Amino acid sequence: MTHHEVLHVFCGPDGAHGNALGVVRDGAAVPARADRQELARRLGFSETVFVDDPARGVIDIYTPTLRLPFAGHPCVGTAWLLGTDRLVTAAGVVGVRHDGPFTRIAAPADWAPPRTLRRYPTAAEVDGLAVPPPGEWIYAWAWQDEAAGTVRARAFPGRGDGIDEDEATGAAALLLTAELGRGLTITQGRGSQLVTGLTDDGLIEVGGRVRRAD
Q: Give 190's pLDDT tier (boundaries 50, 70, 90).
A: very high
Q: How far apart are CA 52 and CA 61, in angstroms?
A: 11
Task: Indicate whether 1 pLDDT > 80.
Answer: no
For 201, other C-beta atoms within 10 Å of its C-beta total 8
What predicted TM-score, i.e. pTM, was given to this entire model?
0.96
Assign 190 to helix, strand or coil.
coil
Average pLDDT for the chain: 96
| Domain 5-87 matches domain 111-211 at the CATH topology level | yes
Q: Specify the fold of 111-211.
A: Diaminopimelate Epimerase; Chain A, domain 1 (3.10.310)
Q: How far is CA 140 from CA 28, 120, 156, in A?
A: 38, 7, 8
The model's pLDDT over 37-58, given as tens digits with 9 standing for 90+, comes to 999 999 999 999 999 999 999 9
Q: How far apart are CA 159 and CA 58, in angstroms?
A: 26
CATH number assigned to the domain with residue range 5-87, chosen from the 4 options 3.40.50.410, 3.40.50.970, 3.10.310.10, 2.30.30.760:
3.10.310.10
Domain boundaries, the chain: 5-87, 111-211
